[in-house]
Amino acid sequence: MTDIKTASTNFANKQALAEECPEAYASNILGGQWTLVICSWLLEGKLRFSELKKRLPNITERMLSLQLRKLEDNKMISRTVYPEVPPRVEYELTTIGYELKPIIKALEDWGSRHKATMEEA
């Protein structure tokens, strides 16, 4: 997440796949460990950094910060800084970010069904 090597095979593979397969492209954006959960919380409305942190009990500030920045770079969320002290920063889904909603719901649904399938065995 910090410094990726654009000369690596891995990077090239990701790029190539993302260009050919929109589902791989989407996966690159949504694949982070906390990404979908953050988006899921933001579906309910904008939240401050500290509010997100509270909802993601085990995340470190660094990870939250990195994931938010990645989401912002991908235009999934917007970031609003209020000129106050102590600082206040709000994160909110953009239009394209919000359009993930049905997919997240479908994933939650499928996930639950999958879990049930696994427990059958």
Partner DNA sequence: GTCATTACTTACATTTTATATAGTACATTA
Partner DNA sequence: TAATGTACTATATAAAATGTAAGTAATGAC
φ, ψ of residue 87 in degrees (nearest 5): -60, 155
The residue from 50, 75, 108, 114 that contacts DNA (CB under 7 A) is: 50
The residue from 1, 4, 11, 26 that contacts a second copy (CB under 8 A) is: 26
Question: Edge-to-edge strand order for the sheet containing 47-48?
Answer: 47-48, 88-93, 77-82
Which of these ranges, 18-26, 61-69, 97-105, 106-114, lies near DNA under the rule CB under 7 A? Answer: 61-69
Handedness of CA 85, 51, 40, 119 (dihedral sign): positive
CB contact at 8 A, 4 and 11: yes
Which positions touch a second copy (CB under 8 A)?
Answer: 9-10, 12-14, 16-17, 21-27, 29-31, 33-37, 40, 58-59, 74-75, 95-96, 99-100, 102-104, 106-115, 117-118, 121
